[in-house]
């Protein structure tokens, strides 16, 4: 069968662009307005998206108050509360949530995802993160954030425990025989009794096995241990490559590691985050983006640019070209990328700062046709199995994608016209995992 794309929607915050809430016609309160979130989920479902993804952070983001006070991206609903409510007003779309292996317990996480999977009829996915924001530590009674390698070690064991807990009952354990009075067969219940280096969990889980067996496992770590965790455990990877070359390298690396781990490479879908701005013409799309970027306040934009350059840029002429600055010990690749962008697009300091402070990741800016061309190329060249779509502003940016880009992709046979199955695993073409304790 010809390859086709998978699309998930990055919905926490509803747009990652820090100026989104100021765009003309945008719903400024969308992160906390359930009626808006419900309409977004229903529109995404009508467009046959694979999943609605609620990222999560356990602290307001670690940026300066100057930047923080101007951004809508730092506050949003707790994912399970929102996704449970959305499960009741949607039927097919997957519901993915982030949950942290550093600041949570496996028993809690296993219960929440098992519950969401039952409530939604098999549509839950868990984005396993180890939490990168060190400020989270102080919200959970710790002075220090655990070290990176240590966090990933716990994450790996955590995955074994959570999936083991989901397997606590055989699929047919609950016989509910009203005649004999037997509710479940104890022969079909497994007590995990896990005692490892990091975790100690007895079990069993007090919830029947999820509809999907296990909710879909997502991973978004990009580091060496992050990629390894993905290769061993993940069924979907969210990532943030800057361009197609970087994406191909990451794709080959993760799929190669999967083979080494004895897994089928088709059982993992790699979905880079892509910021999509559409217009009737490429020029119009670029103008929309420029307008959006111009809504990023200069003070916060220049603060972000200074960090990226490793050099205080607050004294630069905002309307002049970027002056020469010496290379520093800060991120070398990030700095090089900025210099290239400033040079290629002839951006002033202000435009560069606002571009960077708005949304600095991979962007497809053009007409439905040009963006579909790019997506098709990424799919064909094994740079992606689909995308995690980041909207520029809502509702218009989401409507453009669902009403203009999706039909273009469908017309090319690159995206489903209808859901073929009922569960998120079926949307992704992933097998239902066998229960490790019961055949
Ligand atoms: C598309 C995408 C979504 C992410 N979502 C979250 C999230 O919801 N919560 C979180 O703490 N980190 C999130 N991250 C960050 C990753 O979990 C990870 O910390 C980051 O990519 C750095 O990789 P590393 O932890 O392997 O060093 C996300 C990353 C990407 C690319």
Round the average pLDDT of the chain to a whole number and report it.
95
Name the DSSP class of 206: S
Query: Which of 78, 137, 220 should be mutated for ligand 1, with most atoms under 8 A from CB?
Result: 220
Instruction: Flag whether 323 is in a domain.
Output: no
Q: What is the pLDDT of residue 335?
A: 85
Instruction: Flag whether 240 is in a domain.
Output: yes
State yes or no: 152 annotated in a binding site: yes
E strand intervals along 101-215: 124-129, 194-195, 200-201
State yes or no: 243 annotated in a binding site: no
**How many beta carbons lie within 10 A of that of residue 344, not counting itself?**
8
Question: Quick one: residue 213, left, alpha or beta (phi over 0 = left, psi -120 to 50 = alpha)?
Answer: left
Q: Coil, strand or helix: which one is 217?
A: strand
CA 178 to chain centre: 44
How big is the CA angle at 71 (ends 99 and 104), to the nearest 5 degrees?
15
Mean of pLDDT values over 222-234: 96
Q: How far is the CA of 49 from the centre of ligand 1 (A)?
A: 21
Q: Residue 100 has which token pair? A: 């942290």
Closest ligand 1 atom to residue 133 Cα is 11
Q: Place 155 in a pLDDT band, splitting at 50, 70 and 90.
A: very high
Contact 110, 205 (CB under 8 A): yes
Mean of pLDDT values over 207-223: 96
The tally of domains found in the chain comes to: 1
What is the extent of the structural domain holding 89? 6-277+361-428
pLDDT of 323 higher than 80: yes
Q: What is the pLDDT of residue 300?
A: 86
Q: What is the pLDDT of residue 75?
A: 87
pLDDT, tens digit, 9 for 90 and up, residues 273-319? 999 999 999 999 999 999 999 999 998 899 889 888 888 899 999 99
- Nearest CA residue ID for atom 10, ligand 1: 131
Q: Place 199 in a pLDDT band, splitting at 50, 70 and 90.
A: very high
Instruction: Flag whether 95 is in a domain.
Output: yes
pLDDT of 1 higher than 70: no
Query: Which of 7, 13, 15, 55 should be mutated for ligand 1, with most atoms under 8 A from CB?
Result: 55
How big is the CA angle at 431 (ends 429 and 437), to the nearest 5 degrees?
165
Instruction: Flag whether 42 is in a domain.
Output: yes
State yes or no: 98 annotated in a binding site: yes
pLDDT of 269 higher than 60: yes
**Residue 309: HSE in the Cβ half-sphere, 13 Å Cα cutoff:** 26
- Nearest CA residue ID for atom 21, ligand 1: 221
Closest ligand 1 atom to residue 239 Cα is 31
**How many beta carbons lie within 10 A of that of residue 411, not counting itself?**
12
State yes or no: 56 annotated in a binding site: yes
Distance CA(163)–CA(203), nearest Å, equals: 12
Q: Place 69 in a pLDDT band, splitting at 50, 70 and 90.
A: confident
Q: What is the pLDDT of residue 132?
A: 86
Contact 329, 311 (CB under 8 A): no
Best CA proximity match to 233, nearest among 263, 200, 197, 272: 263
Q: How far is the CA of 177 from the centre of ligand 1 (A)?
A: 46
pLDDT, tens digit, 9 for 90 and up, residues 420-433? 999 999 999 999 99
pLDDT of 341 higher than 60: yes
- Nearest CA residue ID for atom 9, ligand 1: 56
State yes or no: 102 annotated in a binding site: no
Q: Residue 353 has which token pair? A: 């700062």
What is the CB < 6 Å shell around ligand 1? 55-57, 98, 127, 129-132, 220-223, 226, 238-240, 273, 388
Q: Place 206 in a pLDDT band, splitting at 50, 70 and 90.
A: very high
pLDDT, tens digit, 9 for 90 and up, residues 93-116? 999 999 999 999 999 999 999 999
Distance CA(277)–CA(290), nearest Å, equals: 11
What percentage of residues in the chain have a pLDDT greater than 90?
Answer: 86
Best CA proximity match to 438, nearest among 182, 213, 193: 213
Query: Which of 8, 132, 151 should be mutated for ligand 1, with most atoms under 8 A from CB?
Result: 132
Instruction: Flag whether 19 is in a domain.
Output: yes
How many residues are present in the chain? 439
Q: What is the pLDDT of residue 77?
A: 96
Contact 157, 199 (CB under 8 A): yes
Instruction: Flag whether 160 is in a domain.
Output: yes
Distance CA(435)–CA(439), nearest Å, equals: 6
Contact 69, 77 (CB under 8 A): no
Q: Place 83 in a pLDDT band, splitting at 50, 70 and 90.
A: very high
CATH number at residue 82: 3.20.20.30
Q: Residue 245 has which token pair? A: 């070359």
Q: How far is the CA of 180 from the centre of ligand 1 (A)?
A: 50
Q: What is the pTM of this model?
A: 0.96
Q: How far is the CA of 288 from the centre of ligand 1 (A)?
A: 28
Instruction: Flag whether 53 is in a domain.
Output: yes
**Residue 210: HSE in the Cβ half-sphere, 13 Å Cα cutoff:** 32
Q: How far is the CA of 247 from the centre of ligand 1 (A)?
A: 16
Q: Average the pLDDT over each of 137-151, 162-176, 235-249 and give the range with the smallest value.
A: 137-151
Q: Place 25 in a pLDDT band, splitting at 50, 70 and 90.
A: very high
Q: Coil, strand or helix: which one is 58?
A: coil
Closest ligand 1 atom to residue 100 Cα is 11
Q: Place 400 in a pLDDT band, splitting at 50, 70 and 90.
A: very high
E strand intervals along 75-202: 94-100, 124-129, 194-195, 200-201
Q: Coil, strand or helix: which one is 260?
A: helix
- Nearest CA residue ID for atom 8, ligand 1: 55
Instruction: Flag whether 114 is in a domain.
Output: yes
What percentage of residues in the chain have a pLDDT greater than 70?
Answer: 99
Q: What is the pLDDT of residue 46?
A: 98
């Amino acid at each position: 069968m010809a390859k086709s794309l998978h699309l998930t929607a990055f919905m926490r915050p509803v747009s990652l662009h820090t100026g989104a809430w100021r765009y003309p016609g945008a719903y400024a309160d969308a992160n906390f307005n359930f009626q808006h979130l419900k309409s977004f989920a229903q529109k995404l479902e009508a467009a046959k998206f694979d999943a609605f993804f609620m990222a999560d952070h356990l602290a307001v983001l670690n940026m300066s108050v100057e930047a923080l006070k101007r951004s809508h991206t730092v506050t949003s609903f707790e994912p399970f509360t929102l996704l449970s409510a959305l499960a009741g007003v949607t039927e097919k779309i997957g519901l993915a949530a982030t949950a942290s292996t550093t600041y949570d317990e496996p028993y809690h996480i296993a219960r929440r995802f098992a519950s969401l999977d039952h409530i939604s009829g098999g549509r839950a996915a868990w984005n396993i993160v180890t939490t990168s924001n060190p400020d989270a530590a102080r919200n959970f009674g710790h002075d220090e954030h655990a070290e990176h390698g240590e966090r990933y070690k716990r994450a790996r064991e955590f995955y074994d425990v959570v999936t083991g807990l989901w397997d606590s009952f055989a699929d047919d354990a609950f016989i509910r025989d009203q005649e004999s009075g037997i509710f479940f067969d104890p022969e079909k219940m497994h007590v995990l009794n896990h005692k490892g280096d990091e975790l100690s969990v007895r079990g069993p889980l007090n919830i029947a096995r999820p509809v999907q067996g296990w909710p879909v496992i997502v991973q978004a770590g990009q580091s060496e241990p992050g990629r390894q965790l993905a290769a061993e455990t993940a069924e979907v990877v969210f990532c943030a490559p800057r361009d197609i070359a970087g994406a191909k390298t990451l794709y080959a690396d993760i799929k190669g590691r999967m083979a080494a781990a004895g897994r089928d490479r088709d059982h993992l879908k790699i979905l880079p985050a892509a910021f999509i701005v559409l217009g009737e013409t490429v020029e119009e799309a670029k103008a929309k983006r420029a307008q959006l970027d111009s809504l990023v306040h200069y003070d916060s934009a220049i603060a972000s640019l200074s960090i990226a350059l490793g050099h205080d840029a607050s004294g630069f002429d905002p309307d002049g070209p970027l002056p020469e600055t010496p290379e520093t010990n800060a991120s070398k690749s990030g700095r090089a990328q900025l210099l290239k962008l400033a040079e290629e697009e002839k951006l002033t300091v202000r435009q560069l700062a606002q571009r960077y402070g708005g949304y600095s990741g991979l962007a497809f800016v053009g007409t439905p046709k040009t963006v579909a061309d790019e997506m098709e190329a990424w799919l064909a060249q094994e740079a992606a199995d689909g995308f995690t779509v980041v909207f520029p502003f809502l509702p218009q940016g989401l409507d453009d994608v669902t009403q203009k880009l999706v039909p273009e992709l469908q017309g090319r046979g690159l995206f489903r016209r209808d859901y073929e199955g009922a569960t998120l695993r079926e949307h992704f073409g992933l097998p239902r995992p066998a229960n490790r304790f019961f055949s």
